[in-house]
Chain A
Amino acid sequence: MPKEQPSDVVGAVSDALGSQRNAANLLEIIDLTTVFRLPNGRIYANKSVSLAVERGKTLGIVGESGSGKSVLCRSILRLIPSPPGHIAGGEVWFEGQDLLKISSDQMQKIRGTEIAMIFQDPMTSLNPVWRIGDQITEGLRLHNQRSRRQAREIGITLLRQVGIPSPEQRIDEYPHRLSGGMRQRVMIAMAIATQPKLLLADEPTTALDVTIQDQILSLMLELQEQVGMSIILVSHDMGIVAETSDRVAVMYAGRVMEQAPTEAIFHRPMHPYTVGLLLSIPRMEGRAERLIPIEGQPPDLLKLPKGCPFAERCPVATDDCAETPISLRQVEPDHYTACLYPERVMA
């Protein structure tokens, strides 16, 4: 695999781990690049993304629309529609093997068993003509060779575990009978049915109301403690990430801009984009007359500069920001930023 910028990015992850392929990490992504070929050009939906997820911990990925968060989840599972997309390079280490190197049969075995995913829209991600029970237990019967009756028993237990009232009846119903929150519970039941080691949650509560979101987030964290799984939680909401994640990666235009433990991201952000995000959200505490927005428009992935993609919106950018290629650098122990001038952020 060609490594264009091996030193810093891989180094960053290696440092974060102590050594590469650290046993504490369930998943390590190194230099992952996913490209989409569109009629009017190539876009890098993920460019040199390096991340690590510790066992039993939650990695939050925040970013705005088009930042590459969902593509990242799909790249991990090798679910990038091709054409137009393909994974152009990188490594995805999971339990001692590089998921990008194994056969598609082996990958198929990992999907849904070792790594499960829940999607944003619970309205469209369940099959409307299948009973709920059949959808939950499909994985069990497929991967674990359970009989119908055994699977049904497990299905009822799972529905109870995710807080669905009267699961004995619900298991025979069709998805249209359930509310959005209940459908997302069913999705979670499906995801945890095979006791995965890693759960990819792509905006799991974005389509839900705030009180229902609150229930689903509590449920996910509760299950995580019971099962001990790792979670990658993708969200555009800084509040959700703050409350659920142990570690946060901030993405912009397909790149990781900053990565650190949650507390450091929120209290000592070292990238102007992270600072911008934090300043632009209205707060419940106190009362600000004006918000401080990030000026400019979202980036056009077809027209990114050679250097930092945030340069044109950045309040502290200099002339060389748009020219110098960026990569993650360590600025304090376990805290990485892609900003060339993190000291300006502090000021």
Chain B
Amino acid sequence: MTDTVLEIQNLRKVFKMSQPFFDVIRRRPARNLTAVDGVSLKINRHETMGLVGESGCGKTTLGRCILRLYEPSEGRIFFEGEDITDKSQAEMQTIRRQMQIVFQDPYSSLNPRLTVRQTINEVLRFHAICAPTEEEAYLKKLLDTVGLNYEDANKLPRSFSGGQRQRISLARALAVRPTFLVADEPVSALDVSIQAQILNLLADLRKELSLTMLFVAHELSVVKHISTHVAVMYLGEIVETGTTEDVFENPQHPYTEGLLAALPRPEPIRRRRKPALEGDIPSPLNMPSGCRFHTRCPIAQEVCRLQAPPRRQLTGTHQVLCHLRPTRNWNGPTVGLPNS
């Protein structure tokens, strides 16, 4: 039996948009933005699930819903076999000793007035991780784990570079000894030379601390490097998921193919080609009918505009949300229609 750490079933998150004054007095209905729409996902122990997609696809919202930093509108979240969807925030605090998050921006996610020691101690005391007498030793060990100098513990975040701040964020998240970590674009704000340091650190920590991870990013090469499994998101839906090999070596969804083709490769060959995908990402306030990708899809047909696509199960791990892939008349198993 596989050991599932996190399972999400049909998760939806709808944000109510603030209404312009004139719409209120005209009694127009409030507009809703569906950021995450019917996402199901399973992450087994020691796996790293990479979640990729472009801005506005809902990947960050999904990450935050898992920790209940946003309240999901529909669907269920199971953590270590337990349904945590309806837990009170007080109960969630206990659960968050096992699940933590690292945010994208190392400049705004640390309190500028707290030293490294204060930042970490706050967590240690709040969650009662160790006796006050052991705090110092614990701090030292923790800073060592993330590659920071113990001598720098009394410094404020402003004396650190972006990469070092991300190490502080990591130390704070790891202070509670979590088993599950959501890393929300942890290296996107960093320079490449520093990005590689943090990616290596994450890989080491994952091994040493037996972490299970959801790694949210928009950079395919980073996701490919760190993940064992990948989910590709577009406009609130997961359009393709599978092992890293499934998705990157045998991409099925035209959007995955487009993302891969659009990526600039560090090979000195001047490009002579049309863009991989035309058009803009539609607004989530004005979702296209049928398959959400049909407005940009190079192989779209009539059916794509009219009907929501089936979620096809290609192998045990590989799923794709498409009418036409692998073939139009494919009659393998499907995983139930989304939104129906």
Q: Write the residues of chain A forming the contact surface with B, with a CB cutoff of 8 angstroms.
A: 64-65, 179, 181-182, 209-215, 217-218, 221, 236-240, 242-244, 246, 262-263, 265-267, 276-284, 287-295, 297-298
Contact B199 A243 (CB under 8 A): no
The docked-state distance in angstroms from the alpha carbon of A283 to that of B263 is 11
**CB of B186, distance to nearest CB on chain A (Å):** 14
Q: A182-B280, A238-B192 are in contact. Are A211 and B258 (CB under 8 A)?
A: yes
Cross-interface CB contact of A237 among B259, B264, B267, B270, cutoff 8 Å: B264
Across-interface contacts of B193 in A (CB, < 8 A):
64, 276-277, 280, 293-294, 298
Across-interface contacts of A281 in B (CB, < 8 A):
192, 196, 221, 266
Q: Does B163 contact A (CB under 8 A)?
A: yes
Contact A297 B164 (CB under 8 A): yes
The docked-state distance in angstroms from the alpha carbon of A226 to that of B249 is 36
CB-based nearest B residue for A182: B280
Q: Does B191 contact A (CB under 8 A)?
A: yes
CB-based nearest B residue for A221: B271
The docked-state distance in angstroms from the alpha carbon of A280 to that of B190 is 12
**CB of A261, distance to nearest CB on chain B (Å):** 8
Q: Does B109 contact A (CB under 8 A)?
A: no
**CB of B119, distance to nearest CB on chain A (Å):** 20
CB-based nearest B residue for A262: B268
CB-based nearest A residue for B226: A282
Contact A243 B265 (CB under 8 A): yes
Contact B270 A244 (CB under 8 A): yes
**CB of B253, distance to nearest CB on chain A (Å):** 13
**CB of A107, distance to nearest CB on chain B (Å):** 32
Q: Does B137 contact A (CB under 8 A)?
A: no
Contact B161 A280 (CB under 8 A): no
Contact B265 A297 (CB under 8 A): no
Name which of B192, B258, B270 has the most chain A CB atoms within 10 A of its CB: B192
**CB of B57, distance to nearest CB on chain A (Å):** 9
Q: Does B276 contact A (CB under 8 A)?
A: yes
**CB of A277, distance to nearest CB on chain B (Å):** 6
Q: Does B224 contact A (CB under 8 A)?
A: yes
Cross-interface CB contact of B271 among A65, A244, A265, A279, cutoff 8 Å: A244
User: Would you give 10 A-B contacts (Cβ < 8 Å), ordered by A?
Assistant: A209-B54, A211-B262, A211-B281, A214-B262, A238-B266, A243-B265, A284-B260, A287-B225, A293-B194, A298-B163
The docked-state distance in angstroms from the alpha carbon of A171 to that of B196 is 44
The docked-state distance in angstroms from the alpha carbon of A236 to that of B222 is 15
Contact B225 A211 (CB under 8 A): no
Across-interface contacts of B274 in A (CB, < 8 A):
218
Across-interface contacts of A244 in B (CB, < 8 A):
270-271
Q: Write the residues of chain B forming the contact surface with A, with a CB cutoff of 8 angstroms.
A: 54-55, 161, 163-164, 191-197, 199-200, 203, 218-222, 224-225, 248, 258-271, 273-278, 280-281, 296
Cross-interface CB contact of A179 among B194, B280, B296, cutoff 8 Å: B280
Contact A210 B259 (CB under 8 A): yes
Contact B264 A217 (CB under 8 A): yes
Across-interface contacts of A266 in B (CB, < 8 A):
266-268
Contact A214 B270 (CB under 8 A): no
Contact A64 B191 (CB under 8 A): yes
**CB of B198, distance to nearest CB on chain A (Å):** 8
Q: A212-B280, A263-B268 are in contact. Are A297 and B163 (CB under 8 A)?
A: yes
Across-interface contacts of B197 in A (CB, < 8 A):
293-295
The docked-state distance in angstroms from the alpha carbon of A179 to that of B281 is 9
**CB of A120, distance to nearest CB on chain B (Å):** 14
The docked-state distance in angstroms from the alpha carbon of A246 to that of B219 is 25
Contact B203 A239 (CB under 8 A): no
Given A291-B199, A292-B196, 10 more pairs with CB closer than 8 A: A210-B218, A210-B259, A212-B280, A213-B264, A214-B262, A284-B221, A287-B225, A293-B200, A297-B163, A298-B194
Across-interface contacts of A280 in B (CB, < 8 A):
192-193, 195-196
Contact A294 B280 (CB under 8 A): no
Across-interface contacts of A211 in B (CB, < 8 A):
54, 258-259, 262, 275-277, 281, 296
**CB of B259, distance to nearest CB on chain A (Å):** 6
- The 7 A-B residue pairs whose C-beta atoms are closest, nearest first, are A239-B264, A293-B196, A214-B262, A280-B196, A282-B225, A294-B193, A64-B191
The docked-state distance in angstroms from the alpha carbon of A317 to that of B207 is 32
Cross-interface CB contact of B277 among A214, A262, A291, cutoff 8 Å: A214
Name which of B195, B221, B280, B296 has the most chain A CB atoms within 10 A of its CB: B280
CB-based nearest B residue for A266: B268
Name which of A212, A240, A288, A292 has the most chain B CB atoms within 10 A of its CB: A212
Across-interface contacts of B275 in A (CB, < 8 A):
211, 214-215, 218
